[in-house]
């Protein structure tokens, strides 16, 4: 895997705009993350097209269903040769075990713990009485015992998760280079540098690059802080 830990989240509705942005910053990111917005709009064909850029592809599908369905979905994406795929840890141990068993052996399967857009109050509204921190740790332990490669968590938890899972592969989104600025829908944010120092393996960055006046300068500036 490329040494630059930054994966650019290509959350753009139009294929040509997504491809142009990826081309522009390709030399300053380690890979590209294609999520639900991209996959629902452009499907397998869109992923194949972006493979031509030669960067590792992180397919962020956040699969969450019964084990049989998730395993079948994992098999259906072998052909896309993703470097990383996401499932939801809340889908449970059997679902994660079957997802890992169905994945290509070169693909890292990581489980989303607690979305970075949620805080303790949001969790309480879903019926969970623990903190986002404790829930992320609990789900990371479950993902570890299910044999996954790692988890997705915020920069607030990644240090503690790394302590309990030394050789895990950890993806941290919800990054804001300047935490004093508007964070939008993200609630548990840190800077890319803070996340890296706390033990992140991959740093997911979307809008701080894609919505910057100069995306190339933004990608370079983030790279320079790492």
Ligand X SMILES: O=C(O)c1cc(=O)[nH]c(=O)n1[C@@H]1O[C@H](COP(=O)(O)O)[C@@H](O)[C@H]1O
Residues that bind ligand X (CB under 6 A): 9, 11, 35, 60, 62, 86, 112, 115-116, 152, 173-174, 186, 204-208
Q: Are 49 and 19 contacting, i.e. CB atoms less than 8 angstroms apart?
A: yes
Q: Smallest distance from the beta carbon of 181 to ligand X, in angstroms?
A: 12
Is 116 annotated in some ligand binding site? Answer: yes
Specify the 3-state DSSP secondary structure of 92. Answer: coil
| Under 8 Å between Cβ of 100 and 109 | yes
Q: Which is nearer to ligand X, 71 or 136 (by Cβ)?
A: 136
Identify the residue whose tokens are 């650019």: 8
Residue 60 marked in a binding site:
yes
Catalytic one of 62, 108, 166, 187? 62
H or E, element range at 206: none
Q: Is residue 166 annotated as a catalytic residue, yes or no?
A: no
Known binding residue 108? Answer is: no
**How many angstroms separate the CA atoms of 218 and 27, rounded?**
13
The residue among 224, 221, 219 whose CA lies nearest residue 27 is 219
Report the residue number, 62 or 93, with the smaller CB distance to ligand X. 62
Q: Which of 104, 198, 99, 113 is nearest to 148 (CA)?
A: 99
For residue 113, the minimal CB distance to ligand X (Å) is 8
Asked if residue 69 belongs to a known ligand binding site, the reply is yes
Residues contacting 80, CB < 8 A, separation 6+: 44, 47, 48, 51, 57, 59
**Residue 194 marked as a ligand binder:** no
Alpha-carbon 116 to chain mean position: 11
Chain residue at closest Cβ approach to ligand X: 206
- As measured in angstroms, the least distance from the Cβ of 161 to ligand X is 13
CB of 60 to ligand X, least distance (A): 5
Supply 123's token pair: 């969790």
**Residues with a known catalytic role:** 62
């Amino acid at each position: 895997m490329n040494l630059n830990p930054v994966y650019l989240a290509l959350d753009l509705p139009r294929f040509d705009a997504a491809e142009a942005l990826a081309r522009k910053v390709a030399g300053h990111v380690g890979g590209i993350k294609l999520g639900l917005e991209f996959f629902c709009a452009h499907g397998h064909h869109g992923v194949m097209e972006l493979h031509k850029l030669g960067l590792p592809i992180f397919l962020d599908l956040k699969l969450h269903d019964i084990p049989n369905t998730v395993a079948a979905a994992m098999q259906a994406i072998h052909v896309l040769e993703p470097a990383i795929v996401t499932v939801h840890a809340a889908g449970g141990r059997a679902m994660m075990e079957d997802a890992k068993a169905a994945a290509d052996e070169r693909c890292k399967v990581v489980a989303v713990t607690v979305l970075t857009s949620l805080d303790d109050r949001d969790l309480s509204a879903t019926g969970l009485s623990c903190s986002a921190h404790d829930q992320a740790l609990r789900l990371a332990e479950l993902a570890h015992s299910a044999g996954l490669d790692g988890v997705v968590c915020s920069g607030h938890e990644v240090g503690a998760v790394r302590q309990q899972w030394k050789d895990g592969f950890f993806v941290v989104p919800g990054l804001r280079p300047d935490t004093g600025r508007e964070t939008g829908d993200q609630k548990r944010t840190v800077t890319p540098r803070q996340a890296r120092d706390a033990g992140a393996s991959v740093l997911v960055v979307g809008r701080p690059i894609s919505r910057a006046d100069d995306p190339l300068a933004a990608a370079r500036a983030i790279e320079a802080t790492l």
